[in-house]
Amino acid sequence: MRSRIKYWFAKHVDRKHTADHMIFKHDSIYVLPSQSGTLFIGIMVLNFILGINYQNNLILAVSYIMGVLLVVSLLSGYINFNRLGLKLLSVNDNHEGVLTGARLELESTKERYNIIIKHIDTGSEVTVSEVFKNTITHVALPYKRGVYTIGRFKIISHFPFGLVTVWSYLHSNKALYVYPLPKEEEIEVKHIFTGSDGDTKVNDVQAIDEFNELKPYQQGMSLNKVSWRHFAKNQQLLVKDYTSEQPVSVGFDFDLVTGNVEERLSKLCFLVVEASNNQQPFALKLPNATVPIGTGQSHRVKCLEILSEY
C-alpha cells in the first residue's frame, strides 16, 4: 500500500512539477507539521486533556496559546513560500571530482526566509537564509562519470518557528554530463585521414608534405618550422609553409590505450583536453562510436560527452 502511494505521488510530482522554471502557488505548495511540530501538537493535546480533567484553567490557557502559535506558524510559513519562484539557469558539466552541479535562481518580489533547496537523487542541499529579490545559488551534484537527468529538487522551508514544513518540487529533464577525470598518458598517436568513402581511418601512414612558401614569423608559431638557413643569411625569421596531399591529423583510439574501461576513458580524456588546448585537430575512436577529425570548443565538448556516455 505504501509503495503504491509513493508511486502515485511520484507520478503526480512528475506531471505537475516538471519544468525548468516554476512559481509556487496554492496548488503546488504542501504544508504539514514538522517533526518538532508533531511533538508540539502532542504536548498541546496532552495539556488540553490535563486541563479538562483537573479543571485547571491555567493549563487550558497554555494549550490554547500553543494552538494559536501553531496556526500562526502554518499561515506565516505558507505566506513566506507563496509565489516564490525557482529557475534552473544552467547545468555545469565538468570532470568527475570537479565542481558539477546546477545553477539556480530564487525569484521573489519581497523578503523570504529559511529556504532550503535539496537535490533528491544525491542528497546535496543548500540553505538560503534570506532571499532579497532575485538570489542565485549553486547546488553541487557529485555524480560519477556518466550522463544523468537532473531530476527532482525539493524546496523546503521551516519558517518561522520550525513547527511546520512547507515544501514544493521542481523536476528538470535537462542532462548533466560528468566527464572522466583526465589521467596523463603518453602513447604513439596514429595519423588519421578521411578516405574517399568519407570514413575516418586510423593508419601508421605518414603525411606527404610538400613545401609551399615562406611566411613571416608571427608570435605563437612553432619554432620547428623556422627556416634557420634564411635567418643566418639575412637575419629574417621566416616560417616554412607545407601542403599535404591528404588532410592528416592525429587520432586517439580506445584500443591503443591500456587499463580497464575507466582508466582508458580517463587517458583518452587527457589526450582530448591536451589536443584541444594545443589547437591540434584530432579524431576519437571508441568501440561504439567514432568522432571525425575536428577542432575547436564544440568538437572538444562532443568528444568529452561521448566519453561520458560510454
pLDDT in tens, 157-183: 999 999 999 999 999 999 999 999 998
pLDDT at 33 over 90: yes
H/E run at residue 17: helix 2-17
Q: What is the pLDDT of residue 183?
A: 87
d(CA 129, CA 183): 40
Alpha carbons within 13 angstroms on the beta-carbon side of residue 257 total: 26
H/E run at residue 71: helix 57-81
Q: What is the pLDDT of residue 221?
A: 63
Alpha carbons within 13 angstroms on the beta-carbon side of residue 73 total: 25
Would you state the cell numbers that stand for residue 217, as one nine-digit string?
A: 614569423
d(CA 84, CA 109): 8
d(CA 217, CA 2): 74
d(CA 160, CA 39): 16
Other Cβ atoms less than 10 A from the Cβ of 149: the count is: 12
Instruction: Locate the domains of the chain by residue range.
Output: 2-179, 190-208+245-309, 218-243
pLDDT band at 278 (very low <50, low <70, confident <90, very high): confident
pLDDT (tens digit per residue) in 255-275: 888 899 999 999 999 999 988
The CATH code belonging to domain 2-179 is 2.60.40.3770
pLDDT (tens digit per residue) in 95-147: 998 889 999 999 999 999 999 999 999 999 999 999 988 999 999 999 999 99
pLDDT at 248 over 50: no
pLDDT at 68 over 90: yes
Residue reference for cell 587499463? 259
Would you state the cell numbers that stand for residue 191, as one nine-digit string?
A: 595519423
CA distances from 32 to 44, 49, 88, 123, 156 (A): 16, 23, 26, 21, 11
pLDDT at 241 over 90: no
Percent of the chain with pLDDT over 90: 64
Region for 13 from its dihedrals, namely left if φ exceeds 0, alpha if ψ lies in -120 to 50, beta otherwise: alpha
Helices 57-81 and 35-53, axial angle in degrees (round to 10): 160
Helices 261-277 and 297-309, axial angle in degrees (round to 10): 180
Which one has a higher pLDDT value, 152 or 1? 152
What average pLDDT does this structure show over 44-65? 95
Would you state the cell numbers that stand for residue 203, as one nine-digit string?
A: 593508419
